[in-house]
Every structure is written in C-alpha cells, then in structure tokens.
Amino acid sequence: MRQWLQGAGHIAVLTGAGVSAESGVPTFRGAQTGYWAQFRPEDMATEEGFRAHPRRVWDWYQHRRDLLAGVQPNAAHVALAQFQQQQPGRLTLITQNVDGLHQRAGSTGVLCLHGDIFAERWLDTPRNCCHIDHAVADHPPYCDRCGNMVRPGVVWFGEALPYATLEAAQKAVRACDLMLVVGTAGAVYPAAGLARLAREAGARVAIINPAASALDDVAHALLCGTAASVLPALLAPP
C-alpha cells in the first residue's frame, strides 16, 4: 500500500462516519439520546419535518452542534491534513461528514458531500429582503419581512447533493491513481458510487475499515483497522 501511495500521482480519499466516531462524534442516530430518543431520525432530517416542526428540528441540530463543541480532530484527521500540507496538490479529500473536523485539523479544499452542520442557509429561495446576517434570532432564525426561515446547511433525506461539490468529487476520482475509502460502510449513494467510479476509471482502490463494508468487492486491498490507527502509518513520510 505504501508503494502504491508513493507511486500515485494523484490520490482521492473518501471518509465516512467511522473517522469522526474515533473523536467521539456520535453517529446521526447515535445522537438521539435522552429527550431526542422519542423522535424518528427521518423526521429530523427532511424538509417536511422542518416545515412541520421548525423549532424542534432547529433545536435538534443545535443539540448536535453542542455535542461537537468539545470534540477534537483525531490522528486520522491530522494525518490527512499533514499529507496535504507536505505534498500539495496530490490529495483530494472528499467527506460524507458534516462536522468540520477535517478542516479544523488543517485540511484544505475539502469536498463536503453532505454539507456542513455549522453552516446556515435560507429554507426557501431568498428574496431581496432576506439577509442571513440580519435574520431575527429565534428557533429557527427568520426574515422579519417575509418570514423565510433559516435552516442548517446539511443535505437532508430526499435532497440532491450539492451539484458543484459532487461534480468536483467525481472529477477527482476519475483522475486519481489511488483511492482510499476510509471509515464508511459504503451504503449511502451517490457517495459510495465514487469508489466504483474510481475503479472503472482505472484507479486502485483501498478500503480502510475495522469491519466489512458494502464496497469490499470494489477494493484491490482491504486494510482492517480504524482510521486513526492505519492512516498515520500509511501516510507517514517514507
């Protein structure tokens, strides 16, 4: 694997929830404890659920933001960031995670397929009166002129991935010589389809995960282990 890595002109990396779990970030469903356990996850991550219960859904995302407040990037995040810094232009980082830990570790140009939990945007197409910096502070914030609500900047169930981000990710995996798929079960599409796209384009594909994934049949190599234990050794300078 290290020989493949050293010989690759361009490397694409796709990370999933397993990478952040090692920092103590609960999974989407794992965050539903206590008061939040009574609600279905799907009701907290759809446009319909938000329109029906905007305060509840907004407070759920604030709860998740609060959970992230004391979380720090782990050795996997740091290893990827250091590789990018030491070898600029060689690695494109694509993530399914919305927690911003890759960016906090120092990674740049991260392609966030599912958005950013700390970002905010308007629920409906903004009118001239909609200025997010001047939204009325509430649960959720809203425009005092038209009532347009502010929503979390994540991709909800049933929504398309950000077009430009997905296009950039597809371009990166088509052009890479080696793709690392790290900490993901490989069950969520279209993100999981990127590994198949890379292999079809002629890249080697390696999966780093402590358990079997739905993409194991795509891989040229399987490294059984956690991201924080494998990536620092794999990405260390020769």
Q: Catalytic residue numbers?
A: 114
Asked whether 71 and 23 are in contact (CB, 8 A), the reply is: yes
Structure-token pair, residue 136:
């009325």
Report yes or no: 184 and 15 within 8 Å, Cβ to Cβ.
yes
**Nearest in space to 225 (alpha carbons), one of 8, 14, 18, 39:** 18
Q: How far apart are CA 224 and CA 206, in angstroms?
A: 11
Pure H helices in the chain: 2-7, 17-21, 47-52, 54-68, 75-86, 101-105, 163-175, 193-200, 227-235
- Pair of tokens at residue 233: 């050794």
